[in-house]
Amino acid sequence: MNHLRRLAALLLILSAVLHPATAQTKKWLTRGEKFHATIMNDGHPIKAAFNVWSGKEQWVSLGIGEYGQPAIDTLTAGRLVLPDSITGPDGRRYRLKGLARASLAHCSRLSEVVLPDSLTDIGDQAFIGCTGLRQVVLPPALYVIYPFAFRGCTHLNTILCRCKERPRTYNDIFDEHTLQTALLVVPAGATAEYANSLVFGMFRYRMENYE
């Protein structure tokens, strides 16, 4: 009997040595760590760069936050779908909370970018020079849009805002051409709130979304 107990103990020790890491014991990714993961473009997987905001809170942003180094190939065309979460190199799922600075800058062949409901921040120059972009849907959790986010989006004709609360904004987010020609669609009952905004109030054409 003692022999069997000793054998069982040895087997447990051996298992611990061979399998030391689990999802609970793996080291957290740290703020600023960068990695690549797969997202979908026109139904096909492509590689995109991500940057860790917070390891323990499991938040990441698309892009590394440096101008001239977009998150994807600038020749990427068509419809780009950004997921609510992606798998990091440690095997954990990370919520996509932000678009880093210049993350999609000059991706002029993109016609549509689907933003996830988890998104809270759109960084400065995130979409600058995306001349093929025609519509943007701002997700419910969006909290802030930084300067120049949509500058140079010369064909942008509709901004549909699904935000639960009006996002914080800075000057120079949109071109003057966009402010004069594009349609801003705001949540039902929020026309006055958006009209009083320094940025959204400059849109010539506004309407409420009654769906």
Residue carrying the six token digits 């689990």:
22
What residue spans of the chain are helical by DSSP H? 2-18, 176-181, 191-195
Quick: pLDDT tens for 3-57: 555 555 555 555 555 555 444 456 778 888 999 999 999 989 999 999 998 766 7
- What span, in angstroms and rounded, lies between the C-alpha atoms of 167 and 150? 15
User: What is the predicted pLDDT for the residue at 68?
Assistant: 79
Quick: pLDDT tens for 45-68: 999 999 998 766 789 999 988 887
- What global pTM score does this model have? 0.84
Beta strands in 14-169 (DSSP E): 34-41, 44-54, 59-62, 78-81, 85-87, 93-99, 110-114, 121-122, 135-138, 144-145, 158-161, 168-169
192 φ, ψ to 5°?
-65, -40
